[in-house]
A = this chain, B = another copy of it.
Amino acid sequence: MTTSQTTRRTVLGGLAAVAALGLPAATGTAAAAPVRDGRPGPKIGILLYDGFSLLDPTGPAELLSRLPGATVTMIGERRGPVRTDTHRTAVFADRAVSEVDRLDVLLVPGAGDRGTIGAMHNPVLLDWIRRIHRHTTWTTSVCTGALILGAAGLLRERATTYWASAPYLEATFGVEYVPERYVQVGKVITAAGVSAGIDMALFLAGKLAGEEVARAVQLAVEYDPRPPFDAGDAATASPQLKELALRLLAESQQ
């Protein structure tokens, strides 16, 4: 059976097997790159909190986990499963905030109304974010995560966030909303809504590991986006489409 042959070829290892399958061999390949343990790469921590939006942390995690020597850790108020805004999915927090004192990179994802407001009023989370921020190389957010950074007092001058939260961002934190995929001010990088975390992560990969590695990461996740529609930009969306978008979100987050 062909698939059995595949197993034997892969288990035997070697460049031939890697080339034949086209997949990176798990272990034992003669030409394997240096073992990652002992290579100090960026320690990246992604905060998870109840009601977060699934793609906000997972898009960046997928990309950033490919950086040489990087460790990407999901961190929650406690260890264990953290539910998303739809209640129908959970991602595991492998560490609690009390166990993490230092990160090179912090990422705060966004959420729907319930999750964002909850996090903005959670002194444990805000306090931890402020403490970690003191020593990060980069402090980042996706979507309404920028509002949480704002609640922690970390926004200056300009930022971006979920398109529908732009007025709130400006009114509440006195920073200018910038309609870009991501905005860097000093060591703080804020990203636009949900899917923008992937573009931001690629930018961050370039900052952390150089452009050549970032380009390789982009190829590794085959990120050559070609959406079948062209409706993702709020600046050109009709009021009706905006209303429908927000209604679909609200219905899915009940």
CA distance A50 to B61 in the complex (A): 17
Do A35 and B254 have beta carbons less than 8 Å apart?
A: yes
Q: A33-B250, A251-B36 are in contact. Are A227 and B225 (CB under 8 A)?
A: yes
Could you give, for residues 233-246 of chain A, a 1 whenever the CB lies within 8 Å of some chain B CB and a 0 otherwise?
Answer: 11001000110111
The reply on A217 being an interface residue by CB < 8 A is yes
Instruction: Pick from A73, A234, A249 the residue with the most CB of B within 10 Å.
Output: A249
> What is the copy number of this chain in the assembly?
2
Residues in chain B near residue A186, CB distance under 8 A: none
The reply on A175 being an interface residue by CB < 8 A is no
Give the contact stretch, choosing among A82-90, A97-105, A133-141. A82-90
User: Can you offer 21 A-B residue contacts whose CB atoms are under 8 A?
Assistant: A3-B120, A6-B172, A10-B113, A10-B117, A20-B171, A21-B113, A33-B250, A61-B89, A67-B248, A68-B251, A72-B89, A90-B91, A90-B92, A162-B222, A198-B227, A199-B228, A202-B227, A206-B229, A218-B229, A220-B246, A225-B232
